[in-house]
Amino acid sequence: MAWTKKVLRVNLTRGTVSVEPLNMEWAQQYLGQRGLASKYLVEEIDPKCDALGPDNKLMLVTGPLTGTMASTGGRYSVVCKSPLTGTIACSNSGGYIGAELKNAGWDMLIFEGKSPKPVYLYIRNEHVELLDAAEVWGKSIWEADKILRKKHQDPNVRISGVGRSAETGCLYAGVINDLHRAAGRSGVGTVMASKNLKAVVCRGTKGVGNVKDPLRFMQATEAGKKVLRDNAVTGQGLPAYGTQVLMNVINEAGAMPTYNMRETQFPGAHKISGEAMHQPRESDGKPNLTTNAACFACTIACGRISTVDRGHYTIKNKPEYWGSSGGLEYEAAWALGSDTGVDDLDALTYANFICNEDGFDPISFGSTVAAAMELYEQGVLTKEHTGGIEFKFGSAAALTTAAELVARGEGFGRDLALGSKRFCAKYGRPELSMTVKGQEFPAYDPRAIQGMGLAYATSNRGACHLRGYTVASEIMGIPEKTDPLATAGKPELVKAFQDATAAFDSAGICIFTSFAWTLDDVAPQVDAACDGEWTTEKLLHVGERIWNLERQFNLAAGLTGKDDSLPKRLLKDAANVGPAKGHVAELGKMLPQYYQIRGWNDQGVPTADTLKRLGLS
């Protein structure tokens, strides 16, 4: 069991809510969270629908281990069709609200239609109400959070919502929960706002009590925690430095995308690294990092809580930012920092605060800013376009002003809110957009980590590191070391990571456990919790099924194998510094083989045999 077996369906057009049983046949085939909601989405929407129209649906979904003592068992996902990519979107978040939804008795919330006016959903266990959001619409998430908490007179509610960036149509807006955790990518927040849905306010007091074999479950979760504790990455590196442990490592590997991916090493990396966050500042003697923090049930605690120097130009006269809040993760530090050439740690932290406060993806934002800076350098973009901002690489002021403009949907921020692909197209230089399927790259240059090139090109939600993190193997040697500059064996590696990741993402746990766990560690926990028999083999099979289901959605939405590509810059312009000097991303050497081992034809379409094998025909 472990599922609550209950789904809450909210029709925003009509303003009605209804309860239905979870489709347990699908739960056996797709486990939960990413897989399960993807199945519901595929069954319920037309893949060709307008992502921002009423025909798209938005699902907030937990996994069977969400809300349990399994380490990191607090995850939830937001699933819909993406307005940024036109593909299926599935963004995963930690914090506390996933567990709260489960504690309230819900596996999944499905939002359909579009509300005639701004509303939010209030949940207290079975009690569910759509309420007027007039007083929080037009407010940041941080403001809305305060207002809603006060209104409901309950300090224990957990809140997920969208900010002004989403309301004003930023195409990479996320859904923020617990102030600083984000279902951040692919514009899932834009979809939420397009439905006039501001927030979900939830309080659950029922708990998760129906695990299949409680004694075995406690043993399995304890064994899992021991593995995390004893592992150098999850036991030491991540708690101490967060994901920012990677900044110096990736820079040294020459895989640090810099200046809109023109270069592969950033001279200022050491100033914005996880180690730098620990150093007392010269200005006030305090470090940027205040503490590490865990999401619900997480025994790793990689989260960063940071404080910006009160004298820093960004917040000097803004006491509302003097407190601590969610600090820089590696992806944010890279996108806001290396890619734009900004090495001012506090400026990046402030920009990150703004991304959280008004709910937009720092990866897509930073990458779009970087593209704009390159256009500015080339003279295509001028001060006339930017509203007077000197939009140069390395300018912290340009970065933080841009963040404020995107947050509020004002001025030049409206252009930046389009995302890199549409932005570069608008200014006539589409080749400068560092995206796959319209989504901006994360922090690993595929010229220096070849497997990631294939992982980006074939990711079902556009460029993404969380769909097949071969960095683990190619750089960190997990589970075994492979040569990052070699292409041989990478199609197999990418497929294995993609399938396993889909299973992790469907269980209710965090993918960061996979630095230490394999599916052999996950299977006993799922099996002790859930009806049915859950072996490593079954989880892998489920993962592969999910991957192909997502692929089918994308193909039906109009994408083709031609979209499994990388920008010309990465395919033609060799890296000019670092260990990968002279290398390009050799996608062409890997893609055909990848299609073949996936059981897809040479156009990237799953064959009838493959679909049959996976139960998808």
Partner 1 sequence: MLRALKLEPEKCTGCMQCEMACSYENEGVFNPALSRIKVFEFHEQGSFAPYTCTQCEEAWCMHACPVEAIVFNPATGSKDVLDDLCVGCKVCTIACPFGTVNYRADTGKVMKCDLCGGDPWCAKACPTGAITYVDIADTGLARMRAWAQRGEATSARFNAPVAKDAQNFDRAKA
For binding to partner 1 (CB under 8 A), which residues are involved? 67-69, 71, 74, 96, 99, 103, 156, 179, 204-209, 214, 218, 225, 229, 239, 280, 285-287, 290-299, 301, 303, 305-307, 323-325
Shortest Cβ 100–partner 1 spacing (Å): 9
Question: What is the rounded distance in angstroms from the CA atom of residue 184 to the CA atom of residue 174?
Answer: 4
SS3 string, 462-474, reads ECCCCCCCCHHHH
Who contacts 561 (Cβ-Cβ below 8 Å, separation ≥6)? 595, 602, 603, 604, 605
Shortest Cβ 328–partner 1 spacing (Å): 14
Point out which residues pair with 7 in neighbouring strands. Answer: 20, 108
Question: What is the rounded distance in angstroms from the CA atom of residue 104 to the CA atom of residue 96?
Answer: 12
Whose Cβ is closer to partner 1: residue 237's or residue 567's?
237
Whose Cβ is closer to partner 1: residue 325's or residue 470's?
325
Whose Cβ is closer to partner 1: residue 6's or residue 589's?
6
Shortest Cβ 76–partner 1 spacing (Å): 15
Who contacts 191 (Cβ-Cβ below 8 Å, separation ≥6)? 51, 52, 56, 58, 80, 81, 82, 83, 89
Question: What is the rounded distance in angstroms from the CA atom of residue 426 to the CA atom of residue 418?
Answer: 9
Sheet holding 108-112: strands in order across?
A: 16-21, 6-11, 108-112, 58-62, 76-81, 88-93
DSSP state of 281: P
Dihedral of alpha carbons 353, 266, 447, 480, sign:
negative
Whose Cβ is closer to partner 1: residue 187's or residue 508's?
508
Shortest Cβ 180–partner 1 spacing (Å): 8
Shortest Cβ 357–partner 1 spacing (Å): 13
In terms of Cα–Cα distance, which of 408, 350, 368, 365 is closest to 143? 408
Whose Cβ is closer to partner 1: residue 288's or residue 400's?
288
Whose Cβ is closer to partner 1: residue 184's or residue 204's?
204
427 is written with which tokens?
A: 């200014």
CB 125 within 8 A of CB 102: no
Whose Cβ is closer to partner 1: residue 28's or residue 292's?
292
Shortest Cβ 302–partner 1 spacing (Å): 10
Shortest Cβ 298–partner 1 spacing (Å): 5
Whose Cβ is closer to partner 1: residue 9's or residue 212's?
212
Shortest Cβ 326–partner 1 spacing (Å): 9
Whose Cβ is closer to partner 1: residue 207's or residue 388's?
207
Question: What is the rounded distance in angstroms from the CA atom of residue 453 to the CA atom of residue 501?
Answer: 17
Shortest Cβ 398–partner 1 spacing (Å): 28
DSSP assignment string, 29-89: HH-SHHHHHHHHHHHHS-TTS-TTSTTS-EEEEE-TTTTSSSTTTT-EEEEEE-TTTSSEE
